[in-house]
Each structure stands twice: as C-alpha cells, then as structure tokens.
Amino acid sequence: MFGKLLNHTQKGQVVTLHYEKQTVYLHVLTDRIINVFVPFYTKEHRSKAIDGSKEQEVSFTLQEMTPSEGTSGSGYIMLTTPSLSCRIHDDFKLDFYGKDGTLLCADYRGSRSPRFILSESALELIRQEGHDVNMAGSTDYPVQCVKVLDKEDCIYGLGDKTGVLNKRHYEYENWNSDIPDPHEDSFKSLYKSIPFFITLKQKGVYGIFYDNTFKSYFNFGKENDGYYSFGSDSGNLDYYFIGGNTMPDIVAGYTYLTGRMPLPQKWTLGYHQSRWGYDSEETFRDIAGKLKSSRIPCDAIHFDIDYMERYKVFTWDTTRFADAKTLLSDFKKQGIKAVTIIDPGVKVEKDYPMYEEGIAADYYAKTPDGETYVNAVWPGDAVYPDFGNPAVRKWWGEHLRFYTELGVAGVWNDMNEPASFNGPLPDDVVFTDEDRPSSHAEIHNVYGHNMAKATYEGWKNLTGKRPFVITRACYSGSQKYATAWTGDNQSLWTHLRMAIPQQCNLGLSGMPFIGTDIGGFGADTTPELMARWVQVGCFSPLFRNHCAKGCMNQEPWLFGEEVLSIYRRYVELRYSLLPYFYDLCRVCEQTGLPVIRPLVLHYEDDTNVRNMNDEFLVGESLLVAPVVEQGATKRLVYLPKGIWYDYWTHREYQGGQYYIVDAPLDVCPIFVKAGAIIPKAPAQMYTDEISNPELILDVWPGDGSYVHYQDNGEDFAYRDGAYNEYLFENKGSNNLDIRKLHEGYTDYPEIKVNYIPGI
C-alpha cells in the first residue's frame, strides 16, 4: 500500500515511519495503547471522542530486526512496550503481539477474495422481483484497514447495532440513522456510531477504536472468513490498538481514552413513565395519579414533543398546559421529576426568539453558498444549530434556563442524528468543527454527541447538579455527557430478544447508561410481552416505559390485574436493588465496566458463553436469564463456573452446566453468585421518599467481598470527598466484616444484615 519503509524517527513517544509513498505516525500512549495515524485528510491529529492528552510516560524500545538467515522475509522494526509489541513491516503492515509473544492482530497480506460474487447482470435479474440483493463482493474505501481473522475469533462492541452479540460474519455501517422500520438483524446502522470493537481470540484479546467520524464500514468476516476490514469514505486512518490481558482490561483501555460515564443522580435510576401523546396538563396529572393508585414506584414522567407550542423548542404550550410550573411543582411534591424532550431542529418563524437570535448570530448550518440551510422536522421548516461551534453550545446551554426555571429535572435529546423529513442533509452542508469549517459528511456522526455535550455543560452550569441528559444519537465518548436509549424499537418478541445483545454491546462500547423502550415503542404490545419486557427492562440502567402516538397505550395498569402485579413486582425489585445499581455506576465511573454485561466479559475462556444472546450479568453478582419467547414457562439456563443461587428460591446450582428452570409468567430467573453481598434499600415509592434509609445487605453463602458507595446522589460534592465507602467481607458461615474505607458523608442509621441460607 505505502511501499518500502525507508526510515523512521522518534520524538518523545511518537515514532514517525517514512514509507516510500506515505508518512505514518505511531504514538505510544500507554504500555497498552498505541495510536496509528495516517494523515490522509488533516495533518493535525484531533478527536471528537477523546479529551486532552492521553499520553502516559512509557519506556519502550525500537529495534531494527534483520531478515533471518534462509528465510524470504524482509526486516522489520520492533516496537516493544512493557505490555505488548508491534512489528512494523514494509508496505505499512503492522502486527501486534502480546507480552508473551502471541500474535494478536496482524494486517492481512493476501488479496481480497469475497465469498460470494454475482455478476451485475445476474444481480439485475434478481432485483427485478424486488429483492434487495447485496452481494457485490469486496468494497474498497478511500480509507481502510484489513486485518486477519482467526478461526476462533469473536467480535463484540460497535455500539447499538442490531442482531446478535458476536458480530463475526456480519457487516455494519456507521451513519447515524433514524429509520422507523422494525430494526432487523440486517440493519446496517441505527442511531449511534461507536467505532470500537473487541476481538476475543482463542488465546488473547484486543480492542480497536477507529476514530473516524465519516460514514464508516465494518465487515467482520462476511466478505471472507479469513479477514475483517474497517474503512470510511474520507478522513484520516486513525485507530488505536488496545491491548490487555482480559476483556475488562480492553474496556478499561477504551474508556480511558474516550472517557467514562460520570456518576448520575440517584433518582435517574428509578422508574420512568413516558408516552408520545401525553399532551395536556390533565393527562399528566392523570398518569401521575394512576401510578400512585396502582402502587407503581416512579421517579420521572417524560414530556414528549406535545408539551411544546407547535413543536418549537424552548416553548411550552399554554393552551393545553395552563401552568406548567405549578404542574411540575405538584409533581415534585409527589416525588416525581419531569424530563422534557428537546429536539435540535429550530422552527423557521419570524419573531420566534430561538430562531431570530440564532440567525442574527450565525448559529445555524449553512449551504455551501452561505445561505442558512433549511430542512424540515416536527415544527415544519427548521434550521440546524451548529453544535460543533463552541459559541453555539454555550448559547444553547444558557437557553436551558427556560427549563430549569420551570423545575424540569432532565433533558431528552431526540432527532439528533440529525433526522430530517425533506430528504437527507447533503454532504456539503457547512458545519463547524470547533475552530474550522467542516461538512455534514464529517459532522453527521457527531452531531448528537455535540448536542449532548452542549446540554450537559449548560445544565451543569445552571444547576450544579449532575446533569441527566438522554440522547438518541451518539459517537464514541458520548458517555461523558449522556445516557441513551435504543430508539424506536417495536412491540415485537424479536425486539425484546434483541434488547439483550444490544445493551450488552453498548455497555462494552463504553455506553453503560442505556435502556430500551419497555413494551416497545412502535406496534402494539400484548399483556404477556409487557410482563416479560419489564422483567428485562428492570435491569436496564435507564428503566423507562415509552411508546408511540398512534399505538395502543401501554401504561402498566392497562393489561389486567395479573400483569399489573407482575409489573409492580419487578419495579419493586428494581427499587430494592437501587444501592446495587448505584454502586455499579460508581464502578463504571472508575473502571469503565458497564452495568449490564454479557457473560463473556467475565468468563471469556468459557466457549459456552461467547455467543450467549439470552442471558446477561448485572455487575458480577447477578445473572439474569429472562424469558424472551412467547408462551414459554420454562427455559434453558447456562450457569458459568462456580456456585450460583436462585434469587427467588435460594436453591443452589453448580455452574459450568445447563439447567431447565421454571419460569411462569411472574418469574424472571435470576441467579446470585456464591459469596455475593447485595446492598438493598427498603421499599419506597420514589428514590428519596425516605431521606436516609437503612441499608440492607443480602449476604449469600460463600466467600466474597464487596465495596459499597454512598453519597448525596445529586451533585459533585463527592469529588471533594463527600462520600462514604465501605468494604464488606463475607467470610462464610454468617460472618460479615464491615469496614469503612472512606468517611465523608452521613452514616446509615442502620445496616441490616440478612444472611440468606442456600437450599
């Protein structure tokens, strides 16, 4: 590709490789992370995902290796850090090795050879009948990289893609897309672009973060089983090789680069009720009332686009809401917070302040001719704030005062792919990338990311609290600003099934605070589907029932007594587990490990879990094996090595094998790892109903230790030490040791220890 390696130079931790046709930079960031940068598009290296320098001082060596006697190979440069090495060959072939010398990731040398190719005329014929055939063979992109795929390799991550957990044999695209059709396995892109994946080998593991915001393509061995590729329409070839000993190391490395989710406010982990179509003060009061009378604990009700005056952001319709401020303060008295949707599209309308101000300040995207670019979304003709411009982010952030003053507690950013009703935005629409003009082609995949950043920063300045921002569109690093939901799923069993691998892969991709619309957004749910969905949804960090206007309502009380009581049981389960969820968020802030985890994250040597699509872990201690098949009342459960206990019956199971377990409609099979200590809260109708409740510790048979975290659940005082941290050690035989690791917050009035006997 680039010819012979002529020479190399080193400056600090950057190694410059001079090839015949191209200069390439290798930046050794840490002993495990190396950035490979080929400046096709810009000379300067910059990232939308990574803030600041990530370089740590590493001592590494560069050795010139001469070809060994009697072999036909040529020499190479060997770069060695304390944890890995990279062999740098002619023609820009880089091979990464683990510390012990195992080859982890090699550039592919052979010629491309697609598994299936049909001639254009054959394709033409098949398409006549309306089939959408996509067998064009291999595709070369202006920017690309092709790497060897070994027989046993599995691939995980890549954000919110549809389909199964292990992405091997599939192809995807990164182009944030709002497509209302049912999200099927064959969808190439959804709302988020997270160009990070983990390759788990028979022996060894590594990650690749391909930091390119243009439309990108990933083919994980679909084209040919012997290699995989990633590439883009434009931009730089800019990727990070991330090494480590285990999958959690790789996730830690990726989140070290792109950032970790900051601790959320505690109430955000409660239950949220939503629907597109709640459109008047009476409706909202009615919903809040029914939540109480049905005894469904709830922390938030969401206000979808119907609260606005003709879909104008930063307005509140005063004909359908006589007094929003009073409504919100009444909600507050009942422990219910309001979350409002805010779309990016600003209505083109004379005398509408958002529009006028933005036009005057030149804050909207432009056509190449310098006219304000107009497309359409909910309010009709609309303009697009240029969130890549720091001044626009600041302006938008300050306007959020409209919401904070009304008493709104969180913001939900939708339509920020950005979506458009009058056809897609042309590639050449002019946006800004911080201090230089950019194009829609380059900005599209970070539009939502920049909007979330504007919202996060604005909200933080206005309130001093940990901002609660939900976003639909994301890029790598959005976890620093926002939680996300998986967009417009449907009330389909296949979508309930998909929720598991989709959330697991989002978690592996650095995005831990996620959830699906419980019950399904589009289409109409059934009582059984609702009952099964809440059993999965109550483990999603973002726990929200939401559905579309035009679909049957799906509040929990609409499906009869049986489903209501099942629903309540799982919302109550979630509320009892809130301290555990909050601890997991703290772990995430510190290590990048997600809340919902695929089994393979902790049992990577167990080949039984590499393709596990219907079970997941919540932290390390809980294993959830929900029923996701219509009509099923039993299911096959695989438990990895160790001893596990049934959460409900306390029955003991030996891991490393399959079991058939009973799962009538009201039972979601949950297993607890031996020795686990699970912190719990007493029953409440919302998170801070009891101001300083006691802590309950469920202590399961076996040995184990657990770190528990406690703070005010609201602001940033914990960063100055205002928190408690406890170490609990389960020594078996009803013997629990409690120690304080850090003291800086009000103590629990009581810690109740609940030793659970195994059966």
The footprint of ligand MIG (CB under 6 A) covers 276, 304-305, 341, 414, 472, 487-488, 521, 546
Q: Which two tokens stand for residue 742?
A: 């850090």
CA separation for the pair 126, 747 (Å, rounded): 70
Radius of gyration in angstroms for the set of CA atoms belonging to the chain, rounded to a whole number: 26
CB 211 within 8 A of CB 239: yes
Q: How far is the CB of 487 from ligand MIG (least distance, A)?
A: 5
Q: Which residues contact 261 (CB under 8 A, 6 or more apart)?
A: 479, 480, 483, 511, 512, 513, 585, 588, 589
CA separation for the pair 461, 455 (Å, rounded): 10
Q: Which residues contact 326 (CB under 8 A, 6 or more apart)?
A: none
Residue 57: alpha-carbon gap to chain centroid? 30
**Site of tokens 């990726």:** 254
Q: How far is the CB of 594 from ligand MIG (least distance, A)?
A: 22
Q: Which lies closer to ligand MIG via its Cβ, residue 31 or residue 178? A: 178
Q: Which lies closer to ligand MIG via its Cβ, residue 34 or residue 419? A: 419
- Chain residue at closest Cβ approach to ligand MIG: 276
Q: Which lies closer to ligand MIG via its Cβ, residue 335 or residue 487? A: 487
Q: How far is the CB of 547 from ligand MIG (least distance, A)?
A: 8
Residues with catalytic roles? 414, 417, 488
Q: How far is the CB of 128 from ligand MIG (least distance, A)?
A: 33
CB 334 within 8 A of CB 684: no
Q: Which lies closer to ligand MIG via its Cβ, residue 205 or residue 452? A: 452
Q: How far is the CB of 305 from ligand MIG (least distance, A)?
A: 4
Q: Which lies closer to ligand MIG via its Cβ, residue 272 or residue 597? A: 272
Residue 456 CB burial class (10 angstroms; 0-12, 13-18, ≥19): buried
Residue type, position 355, single letter: Y
Residue 661: alpha-carbon gap to chain centroid? 31
Residue 696: alpha-carbon gap to chain centroid? 30
Phi, psi of 668 (to 5 degrees): -105, 115
Q: Which lies closer to ligand MIG via its Cβ, residue 486 or residue 710? A: 486
Q: Which two tokens stand for residue 543?
A: 């726990």
Q: Which lies closer to ligand MIG via its Cβ, residue 276 or residue 709? A: 276
Q: How far is the CB of 525 from ligand MIG (least distance, A)?
A: 15
CA separation for the pair 227, 410 (Å, rounded): 44
CB 373 within 8 A of CB 429: yes
- SS3 call for 596: strand
CA separation for the pair 378, 398 (Å, rounded): 23
Sign of CA dihedral 28, 29, 33, 36: negative
Q: Which lies closer to ligand MIG via its Cβ, residue 159 or residue 701? A: 159
Q: How far is the CB of 408 from ligand MIG (least distance, A)?
A: 16
CB 27 within 8 A of CB 37: yes
Q: How far is the CB of 64 from ligand MIG (least distance, A)?
A: 56
**Site of tokens 């099934």:** 497
Exposure string of 170-204, with b = 16+ CB inside 10 Å and e = fewer, is bbbbbbbbbeeebbeeebbbbbbbbbbbbbbbeeb
Q: Which lies closer to ligand MIG via its Cβ, residue 279 or residue 433? A: 279
In the sheet that 237-242 helps form, which strands lie side by side, from edge to edge? 5-11, 14-19, 23-28, 33-38, 237-242, 205-210, 196-200, 154-157
User: What is 202-213 written as a DSSP string?
Assistant: SS-EEEEEE---
Q: How far is the CB of 758 from ligand MIG (least distance, A)?
A: 43
